[in-house]
Amino acid sequence: MEKRADIGVFGGSGFYRMEGVEEIKIDTPFGAPSDKITLTTIGGKRVAFLPRHGKEHQLPPHMINFRANLWAMKELGVTRVIGPCAAGSLQPHIKPGDFVICDQFVDRTRGRKDTFYDGPITTHISTADPYCPELRELAIREARKLGITVHETGTVVVIQGPRFSTRAESKWFSSHGWEVINMTQYPECVLARELGMCYVNISLITDYDVGLEGNPDIAPVTHEQVIEVFKQNNDKLRTLLHGLIAAIPDEPGCNCYRHLLDGRLN
């Protein structure tokens, strides 16, 4: 397939559509992606957009075919992937409405298909630093420019879902100092790396995780407030994405693609 996009964007909860010029259906050796992919142009860059839960949010986190989603992006020619997601806060100082540009993850998922290398080719990619340093820096800079409260680092705990954490689980995650909790960052992030693509996460904090309830520093929030924050986050994200995509240099200044080459055993 001819190269048709440079940058891939995965829409998360509440972010199901992007204005586009064309919608295409792609099939992959790993099955069908979550939905049709929208092709568009932003700031002179060719962008492919795919809502990871599908346009109608028909796919819960544990049913997303992450391999198909990433493979489809690669087939379109994408070299950089932006993966925003709705997330909960595990720390009082990270507030609903804040954005976190995560630099680490802790994988608490089970049984997800998280590699393209089931043999005979064996590959062990490094995930010591799983996120693209260049895209992280650009995302932080653009968020600051827009006056968004952004945390420059953060560890996202990725739980299997679809259930939320117990109070005990949440307290355990918080006690390690981990900041963010979500259900989709793994394996999206590592599959991008296995294909040699840069990946950046933008965690949009919607609410506090269950373990922080009852903390005297945390004011109780209503369901209406959560919905309002959720909507505002996605509005801010759309503006941020335009600035970020336009700022991405044509030639990467990072070594993300090398993780794939270094990981090959044969």
Q: Which residues are annotated as a binding site for substrate?
A: 183, 207-209
Q: Are 99 and 224 in contact (CB under 8 A)?
A: no
Catalytic residue among 209, 217, 235, 250: 209
Where helices occur in the chain by DSSP H, the ranges are 66-75, 133-145, 167-175, 185-194, 223-247, 256-263
Give the type of residue at 121.
I
The pair of structure tokens assigned to 133 is 């340093």
Q: Binding residue for Zn ion (CB under 5 A) from 132, 180, 204, 248?
A: 132
Contacts with Zn ion, 49-88, as mask; x by CB under 5 A: ----------------------------------------
By C-beta, is 3 or 258 nearer to Zn ion?
A: 258
Annotated binding site: 13, 52-53, 183-184, 207-209
13 touches 53 (CB < 8 A):
yes
Options 129, 207, 217, 250, the catalytic residue: 207
DSSP strands (E only) in 150-217: 150-151, 155-159, 180-182, 198-208
Tell the smallest beta-carbon distance from residue 158 to Zn ion (Å).
20
Annotation marks residue 129 as catalytic? no
For residue 253, the minimal CB distance to Zn ion (Å) is 8
Stretch that binds Zn ion, among 45-53, 143-151, 197-205, 242-250 (CB under 5 A): 197-205
Q: Which of 28, 123, 82, 109 is nearest to 246 (CA)?
A: 82
Kindly identify the residues of this chain, within the stretch 237-256, that bind Zn ion according to CB under 5 A: 254, 256
- The set of catalytic residues is 207, 209
